Structure 1
Amino acid sequence: MLGKLFQAEWKATSRWLLPLHLILLVVTVMGKILLSTGLLENEAFVALAILSMTFYTILIIATSIITFVIIVVRFYKSLFSDEGYLTFTLPVTTNQLLISKIGVAFIWCLINTVSVILSVFILVFNEKTMDSIAELIPNLNNGLDKVLGFSGFGGVLFIIFYIFVCILSAILMFTVSICIGQLMSKHKVLGAILAYVGIYMIIQTISTVGMVAIGSITSNMSQISNAEVLKVYQITIPVSLVFSIILSGIYYFISKYIMKNKLNLD
C-alpha cells in the first residue's frame, strides 16, 4: 500500500512540478544557445544581456520557491482540508501517509536542487570552466580537510549526507507546523504559520546559545589562531548535523502523534 501512496502523491505533485522544471530546462537550453552565438557580448545588446540574466535569476528563485510551496500546500490540502476525510478513510497507517508524503517531497527537493545546479553548470560550461574546476578540486579537498578534519571521498559523502539531512529537516519543520496549526478550531493556516515562526525562533535561540557555548572555549576569538578556529568548526559542524537529525526525529513523531491522536478536520 505504501507504494500506491507514493505513486498517488508523485502523480499529484508531478502535474505542477514536472512542467515547472521542464520550463527551467528549456530556458537553460535557449540561454546556452544565445550565449554560444556571442550576441550578448556585443555592447549594443547590453540591455538584452541584463534582461536575460535578470529573467533567468528570477526563474531559478521562483522554481525553488514554487516547488516548496506546492509541496506544503499539497500536504495541507490532502490531509487537513476536505480531502482529508477521504485520505483518512484509506486502509493505511499514519506512518505510511507521512512517509509517502515526506518521501515524495524529499525527492522533489533533490530534483529541484540538482536541476538548479545542472542549469547553472550548462550555462557556464566551456573549456575555461573545466580548467577552473580542475584547479579548484585540490583546493576544495584541502578546505574539506581543514574544516571537517577529513577529506577525499569521506568528506564528499559527509557533505552530501549533511545536505540530505538539512533538506529533510526543512520539510519536516513545515510538516509539524501544519500539524500543530490544524489543532486550532479556526484559522488553521494562520496557526501553522505561527507554529513555524515559533519553532524557528526556538531553534535559532538554541543554535545561538550552542555557538556561544562552543565559542567560549577561548576567552577572545579575535586572538586565537586559524588552527584553533578550524577546530571550532570541526566541532560545530558535526554537532549541527546531530542536532538536525534529532530535530527531524522530533518533528516526525510530533506530526505522527497529532495525525493519529489529535486529528481535527472540523
Structure 2
Amino acid sequence: MMENSTNISFLHTRISDTLPEEINQLLPKIINYRFGILPLSNMLTTEVRSHVLPNCHYQFNIGQLKYTDEPTQIVSLTTSVETPSLTEFQAKWTTKISTSRPEANVLGKFCTLICKQPELNIRLAHTTAENLAYYGAVLINQGDQFLIETPMMLPTNVVKFEENYESGYLALPEYGGGYYLETHDTPHFWSHLNANGAGFLLLAKQIDDETYHVSAFAIPYGQGIYAPGGVIHCDGLLIGDIFAIYTVTPDYSTAILKDELDQVVQLTILSD
C-alpha cells in the first residue's frame, strides 16, 4: 500500500517519492481504479513514475521520458500530412449530461455526442507520422526528443488496461457510460511498456458543425504517440500496461457517443 503527502492510501499504485508537491496534491484525482464485471476487466493506475516540466524537451525510451536541455533530435508535427483510412460520421457535440459510475472519468462529468447512427465501424489506419498528423498527433520513436507543450507540470503514469475492460466496464452504460471521445487543453503521451500490449487509440477531428472523421491506430511497441492539447481522442480501447502522460484540468469535454434514441452507440474496429 502506498501513501502520498495527503495521507490517502492507494492500494494498487506505486508512487515515486520524488514527485513535486504540485503533483502530489493531484494524486487523489489522477490515480484511478475501475473494476469491471468480467474477469480481467479492470483499469488501474499502477504507478505514478515521475513528472515532466512545462514546455521542455524530453527524450523517449520505453517507460521513460528523460529531460534534455540540449535537444538534438527534435521531432515535431510533420508538415507531410496524409489522409488515413477513416470513418466519417454525423453527430452533434452537446452539453447534455450522460451518466456513468463516478470513477469513469477522472476529468469530471460526461456530456453527449449525439450520433445519427446506432453503430460506428471505425477504420484502422496505419500508424505513420503522416497519418497521425491528419489529427494533429506526433509519432515518437525511441531516442526521439520532443517538446511537451503544457503550462503545468504533468505526471508520467503507468495504467493497466485489462483485456476485457472494453466489454466488462467501458461499453456498459451503468459502468463506463459507453464509448466516448474527449478533448482538453493538456497533452497526452501513450506507449506500451512491453511487447504484449494491444488495442487501439482513437483519434478524431471535427470537419464541420456536425461532421467528424475518426480513425483507429495501434501503437507499435517501441513507439509512442504524442497528442497536444486540443486533439480529440479515446484511449479506452488500449490493452496492456501503458506508459502515459495524463492529468486533470477544468478545460475539457468528454462526450459519450449515443444515438438519437439516447442509446449507447456500438463500435467496431475495421482493419483494411
TM-score (normalised: structure 1) = 0.21
More strand by share: 2
More helix by share: 1
Answer with 1 or 2: which has the greater Rg. 1
TM-score (normalised: structure 2) = 0.21
Higher relative contact order (CA 8 A, sep 6+): 2
